[in-house]
Amino acid sequence: MNQKLNMMKSILKGAALASLLALAGCAGALKAPSANVDTAKLPMAKAASANPPRSILYVGHSFMYYNNSLHNITIRLARDSVNGKEANHRATSLTISGAGIDWHDLESYLRPDGLGRYSFVGDNEVRFNPPGRQYDSVILMDCSQCPVHPILSKVFFDYSKKHSETARAKGVEPIFLMTWAYADKPEMTKGLADAYTEAGRQNNAHVIPAGLAFAASIAKRPDINLTVPDKRHPTLAGSYLTAATMVASIWNVNPVGSKFTSELSPDVARHLQEVAWETSRNYHGRP
């Protein structure tokens, strides 16, 4: 009996060790060689369209809906920026908690006269939009670690292609929103930047370098928290920085000096605007 018990203990101990090693392997797969990304050496993703979008569908997860939704901050920041008329647009946000890029049925979302066929304006007045295609562009993002996950990275590239083809078949231009590293795993920055840039290259699609903007801001002003205590989801400053990077990247509109600060201090808002503009210009190779 004692011999059998000792044998069982050895088996269980070995299984536990194997499990720990497997978990360590998965964690290690999230790490890239360095958190410092030389944007000048990244292959350039497609630059913003000569005809900037006037209507956008945001498709993603909680990174988008935090802080009263990224699309609301982006609309206000675009409208109140210098020369922001170029970036005026309407938007709809469609998010699922914890969603991977493969969770979304883009074919259904982009059906004519479906999502976005009417808007509420003024004092809850209903305004019906022109019939047919409702969006010029769709912004796509994957779960926070999926593009660099040892199992799910293939899904990211497969669905980046699938969704890009679906969107273009309906006359909608795909745009990828590059996400950011976890606060305690800055080494994720390079892996995510490489993955989103490659997805943009493969699908000839525009990429918004929000993840690189996060890294640049942290390097300059580590006192400004961009994520909440879970180290993943954005603070108001994080959402504002993402929105500013979108304005700079999609429409090539400089957000520096925008009157809209989203209740951030003028000093913090100015810093985030400057980082967004600098990161976008570097990433897209603009003068």
Q: Let me know whether 19 and 73 are in one domain.
A: no
Does residue 238 sit within a domain? yes
Please give the structure tokens belonging to residue 56: 């956008």
Number of domains observed in the structure of the chain: 2
Asked whether the beta carbons of 206 and 239 are under 8 A apart, the reply is no
Q: Nearest 5°: CA angle at 105, between 209 and 243?
A: 25
Q: Is residue 40 part of a domain?
A: no
Cα 271 to Cα 281: distance, rounded to the nearest angstrom: 16
83 and 109 together in one domain: yes
Same domain, 24 and 118: no
135 and 9 both lie in a single domain: no
Whether residue 149 sits in one domain with residue 15: no
Which residues form the domain of 66? 46-284
Q: CB within 8 A of 171, min separation 6: which ones?
A: 133
Query: Are residues 26 and 52 located together in one domain of the fold?
Result: no
Which pair of tokens denotes residue 283?
């990433």
Is 41 part of any domain? no
As a whole number of angstroms, the distance between CA 135 and CA 138 comes to 7
CATH of the domain at 261: 3.40.50.1110
Q: Each residue's pLDDT tens digit in the chain (287 positions)? A: 444 334 433 433 333 333 333 333 333 333 333 345 554 444 445 555 557 899 999 999 999 999 999 999 999 999 888 777 778 899 999 999 999 999 999 999 999 999 999 988 888 899 999 999 999 999 999 999 999 999 999 999 999 999 999 999 999 999 999 999 999 999 999 999 999 999 999 999 999 999 999 999 999 999 999 999 999 999 999 999 999 999 999 999 999 999 999 999 999 999 999 999 999 999 999 88
Q: Is 38 contained in some domain?
A: no
Query: What's the token pair of residue 112?
Result: 């004519």
| 120 inside domain | yes
Strand partners, 125: 121
37 in any annotated domain: no
Q: Which residues of 217-243 are buried (b: 16+ CB within 10 A; e: fewer)?
A: bbeebeebebbeeeebbbbbbbbbbbb
Phi, psi of 68, rounded to the nearest 5 degrees: 65, 30
Q: Are residues 254 and 112 in the same domain?
A: yes
Instruction: Judge whether 273 lies within some domain.
Output: yes
